[in-house]
Structure formats: structure tokens, C-alpha cells
């Protein structure tokens, strides 16, 4: 039963995950979020230094929590991109060092392929075929997936500007809410009217690209509306109306992709999947189409290393390995489940 250790350092969290035969058996997570909060966003250099300090202790903790030693490890998988270059480099350098020191193969994993693989940890083999929506502070991507080992992941569309979570965070800042704005907007929106303000739905006209997203116009529209408003700001209505605009576009495009590809399953990933309105509307629309909806638990939706280990596990089975010359690729395009 092969054991794969995954290392994920693409943003502000140092994650180590240990997967045995497709099952998570140990993990450790350190976050530098508190160090970034006062800047209102993640500072790459601060994140990189925090990864450097956290990595070795996190590895020891993850192996201990799995009840194994380095002798039991069969492979190392590491996020090679996309992500913050300086942060990725720390994880890659560590992964190469462990690979040499422990005499085990190294796999460079595409971060989005990791998000896709996360569902396999929660629900067993990924439905083949399926459409996957990944929405977080860093990405908004629609993917068409078949067999994770044999078939390349097809990138259907992405955001052309802000990521969905980024839009939540920027609107949160406009409204003076704590960072990150997503959870606060979700909570406050429950008291508001989602039809109170008609905010724009980006790239939703018939002539627009069907599977691309755009949220910066929406963010600007919210900022303008708030600026122009006189008197007490109806914060709950702004939150609810903004959230509805983001969620509706995500659900419309995901359902359209599922129909076009003729899939019977939709899988979600990324931190924005915590959004209660997104979960509800997606569930309703998927049910209406007779399509199954798979949502991994929150800890597997947000960035984590178990998903990277899981993606690496598929490649161990294939007998492939990545050379030690693999570099950090901050803006990697997804061509397949791994980068080599």
C-alpha cells in the first residue's frame, strides 16, 4: 500500500498531507494568514518566509500523525503551480530535498488537478466524466475531467480578471468588513434582499464567452453604488445582491458546461464552496437537471496538501515521475493532471 506525502505551499498555508492507497492518514497545516491580515491581502515574501519556518516541523508532525516514519514513504508530490512564485519555490525545494534524502520519486502536481483529486479523497473515484468548478481566493475555473490518470483535464474557462473569492474579499473591504470578506458577506447576506439592487452579471450575454468569468465589473459596480448612496448604507441588501450576482453566474455557467459536455456529475472545490447561497442554488439547479452534485468537506475544499498527495498517488500508480529540474510555474496552464 503505497504512501505518498503531499506538500502544498502555493499561497499562505504550509500544508503536508500523507495519503496511503488513496486515503488520508495524516496531515499538518500551518497558516501565515494572521501575518497578512493587516495588509488586506497575502504578501508573497511574508508567505515564503513563513513556509520556510513551518515546513520541517509540519513534515515531522504529519508523519507522526500518520503513525509512520520517512522509511514508509514511497513518493513525494508537490504543487509546482500555479501560485505565488516565491511560496511555490520553498515547497519545491523542500520536496526535492526530501526526494533525494529519502530516495523516493518526486511528482510535480498542478494545483487545480489537486483540487479535482480532493473529491476522490472524500467520495472515492472521481465520477468519469464530470464538470468541476473550482472557486477560491485565487481561482475561478471550470474543468472537464475524465479519468484522472489517463486523460488530460480540459480547461473550459477561467476568470478573465478577479477570482470569485477575491471579488468577495474586495467587496468586503469596500463595506469595511474583516478580511477575508467571503464568510462575513455570506453571514450578513442572510438578512438582506438579493433582488434589492440589480448588480451586473459578468459575461452573461449570449455573445459572451460561455465558460469564462469576469468579476471586476461587478466589484466596481458595488463600489460605485456604495459611493453614490446617501444615508445609512443597507449593508445586508448590498451583500445579498452582490452575492446573488456572483453565485448566479457561477451556477449558470457550471450547469451550461455540464449540459454541453453531457455529464451526469458536477464536483465543486475551493474555499468559496463554503458559501451557503452557492451550495443551495447549485444543489437546486443540479437536481432540476438530474445531475449529481459532489462537494468535498470544507477542509478538502480549501487549499490542502492531502489533495496534492492524492493527485501524486495517481502518478505513482502510472509509474511516472517528475525530474528534479522541475521549477515553480506561477501561471501554469493545465494540460494534464501533472506537470512534468
Minimum CB–partner distance for residue 87 and Zn ion (Å): 12
Minimum CB–partner distance for residue 18 and ligand KG4 (Å): 21
Cβ nearer to Zn ion, comparing 114 with 181? 114
Residue 272 binds which entry of ligand KG4, Zn ion, none, with Cβ cut-offs from 5 to 8 Å by kind? Answer: ligand KG4
Minimum CB–partner distance for residue 303 and Zn ion (Å): 4
Minimum CB–partner distance for residue 228 and ligand KG4 (Å): 25
| Residue recorded with cell 472524500 | 122
Cβ nearer to ligand KG4, comparing 186 with 237? 186
Under DSSP, the state recorded for 177 is P
Rounded Cα distance between 320 and 338, Å, is: 10
Closest-approach residue to Zn ion (CB): 303
Minimum CB–partner distance for residue 183 and ligand KG4 (Å): 4
Cβ nearer to ligand KG4, comparing 22 with 270? 270
- Sign of the dihedral through C-alpha 177, 180, 182, 184: negative
Minimum CB–partner distance for residue 272 and ligand KG4 (Å): 4
Cβ nearer to Zn ion, comparing 136 with 250? 136
Cβ nearer to Zn ion, comparing 136 with 329? 136
CB atoms within 10 A of CB 91: 27
Residues in touch with Zn ion (CB under 5 A): 136, 303
Cβ nearer to ligand KG4, comparing 94 with 274? 274
Residues in touch with ligand KG4 (CB under 6 A): 11, 136-138, 165, 168-169, 180-183, 186, 270-272, 274-275, 302-303
Residue 186 binds which entry of ligand KG4, Zn ion, none, with Cβ cut-offs from 5 to 8 Å by kind? Answer: ligand KG4
Cis amide prior to 129 (ω within 30 degrees) = yes
φ/ψ of 322, rounded to 5, equals -100, 140
Buried b (16+ CB within 10 A) or exposed e, 221-246: bbeebeeeeeeeeebbbbbbbbbbbb
Residue 115: in which H helix or E strand, if any?
A: helix 111-123
Residue 129 binds which entry of ligand KG4, Zn ion, none, with Cβ cut-offs from 5 to 8 Å by kind? Answer: none
Cβ nearer to Zn ion, comparing 239 with 272? 272
Rounded Cα distance between 276 and 166, Å, is: 17
Rounded Cα distance between 121 and 94, Å, is: 24
Minimum CB–partner distance for residue 113 and ligand KG4 (Å): 15
Residue 271 binds which entry of ligand KG4, Zn ion, none, with Cβ cut-offs from 5 to 8 Å by kind? Answer: ligand KG4
228: helix, strand or coil:
helix
Q: Is 276 exposed, middle or buried (0-12, 13-18, 19+ CB in 10 A)?
A: middle
Amino acid at each position: 500500500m503505497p504512501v505518498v506525502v503531499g506538500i502544498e505551499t502555493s499561497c499562505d498555508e504550509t500544508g503536508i498531507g500523507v495519503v496511503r492507497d488513496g486515503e488520508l492518514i495524516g496531515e499538518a497545516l500551518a497558516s501565515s494568514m494572521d501575518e497578512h491580515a493587516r495588509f488586506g491581502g497575502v504578501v508573497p515574501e511574508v508567505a515564503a518566509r513563513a513556509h520556510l519556518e513551518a515546513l520541517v516541523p509540519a513534515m515531522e508532525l504529519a508523519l507522526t500523525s500518520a503513525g509512520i516514519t520517512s522509511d514508509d514513504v514511497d513518493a513525494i508530490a508537490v504543487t509546482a503551480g500555479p501560485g505565488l512564485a516565491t511560496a511555490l519555490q520553498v515547497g519545491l525545494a523542500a520536496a526535492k530535498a526530501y526526494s533525494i534524502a529519502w530516495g523516493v520519486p518526486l511528482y510535480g502536481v498542478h494545483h487545480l488537478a489537486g483540487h479535482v483529486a480532493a473529491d476522490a479523497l472524500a467520495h472515492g473515484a472521481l465520477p468519469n466524466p464530470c464538470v468541476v468548478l473550482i472557486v477560491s481566493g485565487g481561482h475561478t475555473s471550470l474543468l472537464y475531467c475524465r479519468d484522472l490518470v489517463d486523460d488530460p483535464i480540459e480547461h473550459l474557462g477561467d476568470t478573465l480578471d478577479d477570482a470569485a473569492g477575491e471579488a468577495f474579499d474586495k467587496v468586503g473591504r469596500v463595506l469595511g468588513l474583516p478580511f477575508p470578506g467571503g464568510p462575513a458577506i455570506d453571514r450578513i447576506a442572510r438578512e438582506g434582499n438579493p433582488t434589492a439592487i440589480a448588480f451586473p452579471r459578468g459575461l452573461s450575454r449570449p455573445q459572451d464567452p460561455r465558460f469564462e468569468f469576469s468579476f471586476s465589473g461587478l466589484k466596481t459596480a458595488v463600489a460605485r453604488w456604495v459611493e453614490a448612496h446617501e444615508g445609512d448604507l443597507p449593508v445586508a441588501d448590498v451583500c445579498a445582491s452582490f452575492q446573488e450576482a456572483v453565485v448566479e453566474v457561477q451556477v449558470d455557467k457550471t450547469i451550461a458546461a455540464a449540459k454541453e459536455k453531457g455529464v451526469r456529475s458536477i464536483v465543486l472545490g475551493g474555499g468559496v464552496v463554503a458559501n451557503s447561497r452557492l451550495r443551495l442554488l447549485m444543489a437546486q439547479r443540479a437536481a432540476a437537471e438530474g445531475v449529481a452534485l459532489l462537494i468535498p468537506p470544507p477542509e478538502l475544499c480549501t487549499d490542502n496538501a492531502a489533495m496534492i498527495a492524492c493527485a501524486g498517488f495517481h502518478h505513482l500508480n502510472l509509474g511516472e515521475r517528475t525530474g528534479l529540474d522541475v521549477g515553480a510555474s506561477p501561471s501554469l496552464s493545465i494540460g494534464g493532471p501533472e506537470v512534468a
